[in-house]
């Protein structure tokens, strides 16, 4: 019996070198050697990270690079002291970037010609002043002290990074909750952090409408009160001007708090050490109850700085744009802290990618001459449903690096992205990482001056200084080209310190699986290394299917379907079957202009047979939906599709974007079961 993996294997040798890089390509053997030299012993590994650490600002340098005396609680740059706010503002000004634009913010509303009505260009000096004013206000008026945690429930407006830096300045911490979450999800996170101050806005513009936020905070605060937790102050930034209820002794306008604070107040920036943390942030909740990752200061900063240089090759004249929401780790690390600590000009956009039409992002890339772009496969698959001309009519030629993150990218989507956004010449990588890793773990490294050839759908290589492996159930490495569980084998600077208030869960979730073998960080993903050493993440370990003795990653089956011209998106789960063990159950979203029908089912099965072989295709169940259940960060929640098929309880759905998708899945399942 042939292994259904053959389909993906053809991508192993699909080497693509963007023409402008043709003279700057690593021989794979040389790159392997470069990485191995760094990883060969403790001394060279420490020297490598120390080199990066030496490039950033420290109030006090470290005595020791890595303390691994209490694994798996690793500590980096012991004895060193720095601060994210200082790195992102003060230090940039010291380096001569006082008047450089740090953030270009674009609001969603447009005029009748589609031009934005509001654009704010915030210089590094503006950033410095505003965050100092807020820090002063928080300290003097609200008594915020070092170590206090504040919860932010804010839209994509410049005040969010201002508050982030203000809090860092004081050595306080933030817990940012994505502003699409429900009152209940917010309340749980406020209580977990023990926050007495919540910062929000009246509302936000989204798809041409005002979405109110303050009422959700009101509701969340009520839930907290019911549970015995008091929120003392809710700071409200005025954004959309919508009417809101007001609680006199609790609510306070951001503008009023700052009214009497002059533009040039300065607040001392508190030096933070290696035992200090910078923030907590919850994971997306794709696979279950969200986990509160607690991140460091120095190690986190070094990791971000190094990846901004290696992965993004950030230069002073770049216009950098990451489309994530700051409420996710991607936004924390690669809209705020990473770009700002490297003195970049970073774009921040308030609204939806399809307002006033689906060309909005492309229009913005043209408007600002964006050179570096970062988005998610879910967005790319949405854009792909449109004719290419929708995007190529804008000037996208400035783009030189276009990466994705969040889910595996199907080779089909990769090719589209390379061609349409990358104009067949940009470096494209699906950078793999997690909330817990702090920063990017895999990619290509244009910042090192040379790249390894690209391959559609790959995650590239682990960044130098970090090593990964693919293990079987017993912790033995599997050979190249075979699937298994994806682990990181050595500590790295950006790694989470622990799970907030839950060190036991930290040990258990990330280091429990292979504890008899040593301290291996278990990612929870399913992956494969190819013979060249490239990483291919194949989906969630919880989501893999076991078909006739083969364990198959969801990404493999989904990519096979998405390569059919009628399919926009697909989600695959295993459905238990008495004879086969499991059969693939596939939910398909068709592209515009295609209709579900029995013929379409046969057509897709035929396609599946020709791409993945009979093992996967013969018993596959295919059904159609308009939308897939996704987290609010846009990831497919396969566990819900499985629960539907098994008639089980849905579990934690606080991060689910829309209930409608689950209802649809239930109906679609009835048709095929």
Question: Under the criterion CB under 6 A, does residue 431 sit at the interface with ligand ATP?
Answer: yes
The residue count of the chain comes to 673
**Residue 211 burial (10 A CB sphere; 0-12, 13-18, 19+):** middle
Please, which residues have CB within 8 angstroms of residue 36's CB and are 6 or more apart in sequence?
Answer: none
Supply the minimum distance, in Å, between the C-beta of residue 193 and ligand ATP: 17
Closer CB to Mg ion, 168 or 283, in the complex: 283
Q: How far is the CB of 290 from ligand ATP (least distance, A)?
A: 5
Q: How far is the CB of 208 from ligand ATP (least distance, A)?
A: 28
323 touches ligand ATP (CB under 6 A): no
CA distances from residue 156 to 4, 23, 236 in whole angstroms, order as listed: 43, 40, 14
| String marking each residue 269-288 x if it binds Mg ion according to CB under 5 A | --------------x-----
- Dihedral angle over CA of 7, 8, 9, 11, nearest 10: 120
Q: Which residues contact 364 (CB under 8 A, 6 or more apart)?
A: 106, 321, 347, 349, 370
Using only the alpha carbons of the chain, give its radius of gyration: 24
Which tokens go with 473? 């159930």
- Sites for ligand ATP among residues 486-525 (CB under 6 A): 523-525
Cis peptide before 72 (omega within 30 of 0): yes
Judged by beta carbon distances under 5 to 8 A according to partner kind, the member of Mg ion, ligand ATP, none in contact with residue 405 is ligand ATP
540 scored as a contact of ligand ATP (CB under 6 A): yes
Nearer CB in complex with ligand ATP: 406/613: 406
Interaction between residue 287 and ligand ATP (CB under 6 A):
yes
- Rounded to whole angstroms, the Cα distance separating 105 from 111 reads 17
Q: Could you say whether residue 537 binds ligand ATP (CB under 6 A)?
A: yes
**Taking the complex as a whole, how short is the minimal distance between the CB of residue 505 and ligand ATP, in angstroms?**
12
The contact mask relative to Mg ion for 232-271 (x = CB under 5 A, - = no) is ----------------------------------------
Nearer of residues 251 and 407 to ligand ATP, judged by Cβ: 407
Q: Which of 168, 200, 274, 283 binds ligand ATP (CB under 6 A)?
A: 283
307 makes contact with ligand ATP (CB under 6 A): no
User: Please, which residue, 292 or 299, has the CB nearer to ligand ATP?
Assistant: 292
Q: Can you tell me the distance from the alpha carbon of 294 to that of 528, in angstroms, rounded to the nearest whole number?
A: 29
Q: Nearest distance from residue 288's CB to Mg ion, in Å?
A: 9
Q: If we measure between CA atoms, which residue out of 104, 105, 83, 166 comes closest to residue 132?
A: 166
109 vs 288, beta carbon nearer ligand ATP: 288
Instruction: State in angstroms the smallest separation of the CB of 508 from Mg ion.
Output: 14
- Determine if 628 is a binding residue for ligand ATP (CB under 6 A): no
Query: Quick one: what does residue 371 bind among ligand ATP, Mg ion, none, with the CB cut-off 5 to 8 Å set by partner type?
Result: none
The strand pairing partners of 522, in sequence order, are 487
The verdict on 455 binding ligand ATP (CB under 6 A) reads no
State the nearest-atom distance from the C-beta of 407 to ligand ATP, in Å: 5
Identify which of residues 53 and 529 has a Cβ nearer to ligand ATP in the complex: 529
Q: What CA–CA distances, in Å, run from 219 to 184, 201, 213, 214, 403?
A: 8, 14, 10, 9, 38
Adjacency order of strands within the sheet including 101-106: 119-123, 101-106, 345-349, 319-322, 372-375, 401-404, 427-430
Q: Where in 386-405 is the site for ligand ATP (CB under 6 A)? A: 405
Q: Is 290 near ligand ATP (CB under 6 A)?
A: yes
Q: Supply 78's token pair.
A: 């012991």
Are the beta carbons of 438 and 300 closer than 8 angstroms? yes
Choice from 434, 468, 615, 620 touching ligand ATP (CB under 6 A): 434
CB nearer to Mg ion: pick between 204 and 641: 641
How far is residue 106's CA from residue 117's CA, in Å, rounded to a whole number?
Answer: 8
DSSP collapsed to 3 states, 71-108: CCCCEEEECCEECHHHHHHHHHHHCCCCCCEEEEEECC
Q: How far is the CB of 5 from ligand ATP (least distance, A)?
A: 17
523: partner contacted, choices Mg ion, ligand ATP, none (Cβ within 5-8 A by kind) = ligand ATP
Stretch that binds ligand ATP, among 5-13, 14-22, 241-249, 428-436 (CB under 6 A): 428-436
CA 139 to chain centroid, in Å, comes to: 31
Task: Return the SS3 of 277.
Answer: strand
Residue 629 binding ligand ATP, by CB under 6 A: no
Instruction: Output DSSP code: residue 336.
Output: I
Compare residues 283 and 623 and give the one whose CB is closer to Mg ion: 283
Q: CA-based angle 204:205:210, to the nearest 5?
A: 80
Nearer to ligand ATP (CB atom), residue 171 or residue 285: 285
Residue ranges binding Mg ion (CB under 5 A) = 283
Residue ranges binding ligand ATP (CB under 6 A) = 283-288, 290-291, 405-408, 430-435, 459, 523-525, 537, 540, 633, 635
């Amino acid at each position: 019996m042939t292994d259904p993996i053959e389909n993906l294997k053809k991508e192993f040798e699909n080497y693509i070198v963007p023409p402008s890089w043709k003279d700057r390509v690593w021989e794979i053997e040389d790159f392997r050697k470069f990485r191995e030299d760094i990883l060969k012993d403790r001394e060279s590994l420490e020297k490598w990270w120390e080199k990066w650490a030496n490039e950033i600002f420290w109030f006090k340098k470290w005595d020791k690079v890595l303390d691994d005396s209490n694994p798996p609680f690793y500590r980096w740059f012991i004895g060193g002291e720095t601060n994210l706010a200082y790195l992102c503002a003060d230090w940039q000004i010291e380096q001569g970037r006082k008047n450089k634009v740090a953030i270009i913010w674009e609001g969603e509303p447009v005029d009748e010609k589609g031009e934005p009505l509001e654009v704010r260009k915030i210089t590094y000096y503006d950033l410095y002043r505003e965050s100092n004013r807020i820090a002063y206000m928080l300290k003097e008026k609200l008594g915020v002290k070092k170590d206090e945690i504040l919860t932010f429930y804010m839209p994509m407006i410049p005040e969010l990074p201002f508050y982030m830096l203000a809090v860092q300045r004081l050595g306080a911490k933030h817990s940012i909750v994505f502003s699409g979450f429900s009152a209940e999800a917010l309340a749980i996170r406020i209580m977990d952090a023990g926050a007495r101050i919540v910062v929000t806005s009246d509302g936000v513009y989204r798809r041409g409408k005002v979405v109110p936020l303050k009422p959700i905070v009101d509701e969340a605060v009520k839930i907290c009160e019911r549970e015995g937790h008091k929120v003392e102050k809710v700071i409200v930034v005025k954004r959309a001007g919508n009417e809101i209820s007001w609680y006199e002794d609790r609510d306070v306008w951001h503008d009023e708090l700052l009214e009497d604070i002059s533009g040039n107040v300065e607040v001392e920036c508190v030096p933070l050490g290696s035992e200090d943390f910078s923030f907590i942030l919850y994971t997306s909740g794709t696979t279950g109850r969200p986990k509160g990752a607690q991140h460091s200061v120095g190690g986190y900063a070094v990791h971000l700085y190094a990846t901004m240089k290696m992965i993004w090759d950030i230069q002073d004249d770049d216009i950098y744009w990451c489309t994530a929401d700051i409420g996710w780790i991607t936004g924390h690390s690669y809209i705020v802290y990473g770009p700002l600590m490297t003195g970049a000009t970073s774009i921040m956009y308030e609204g939806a990618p399809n307002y006033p039409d689906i060309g909005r992002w492309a229009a913005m890339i043209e408007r600002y001459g964006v050179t570096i772009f970062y988005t998610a496969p879910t967005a790319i698959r949405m854009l792909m449903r449109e004719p290419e001309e929708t995007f190529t009519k804008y000037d996208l030629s400035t783009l030189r690096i276009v990466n994705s993150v969040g889910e595996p990218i199907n080779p089909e989507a990769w090719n589209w992205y390379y061609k349409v956004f990358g104009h067949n010449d940009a470096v494209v990588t699906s950078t793999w990482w997690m909330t817990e890793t702090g920063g990017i773990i895999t990619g290509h490294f244009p910042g090192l001056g040379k790249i390894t050839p690209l391959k559609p759908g790959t995650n590239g290589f682990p960044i130098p200084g970090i090593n990964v492996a693919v293990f079987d159930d017993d912790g033995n490495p599997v050979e190249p080209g075979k699937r298994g569980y994806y682990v990181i084998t050595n500590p790295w600077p950006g790694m989470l310190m622990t799970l907030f208030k839950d060190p036991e869960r930290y040990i258990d979730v990330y280091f429990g699986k292979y504890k008899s073998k040593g301290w291996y960080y278990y990612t929870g993903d399913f992956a494969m290394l190819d013979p060249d050493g490239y990483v291919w993440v194949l989906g969630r370990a919880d989501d893999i299917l076991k078909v006739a003795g083969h364990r198959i990653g969801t990404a493999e089956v989904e990519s096979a379907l998405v390569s059919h011209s009628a399919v926009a998106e697909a989600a695959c789960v295993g459905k238990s079957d008495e004879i086969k063990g499991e059969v693939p159950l596939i939910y398909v979203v068709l592209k515009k202009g295609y209709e579900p029908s029995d013929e379409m089912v046969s057509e897709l099965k035929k396609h599946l047979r020709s791409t993945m072989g009979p093992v996967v295709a013969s018993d596959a169940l295919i059904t159609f939906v308009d939308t897939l259940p996704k987290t609010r960060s846009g990831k497919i929640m396969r566990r819900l599709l499985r629960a539907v098929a098994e008639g089980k309880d849905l579990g934690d759905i606080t991060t689910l974007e829309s209930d409608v998708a689950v209802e649809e899945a239930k109906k679609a399942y009835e048709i095929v079961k």
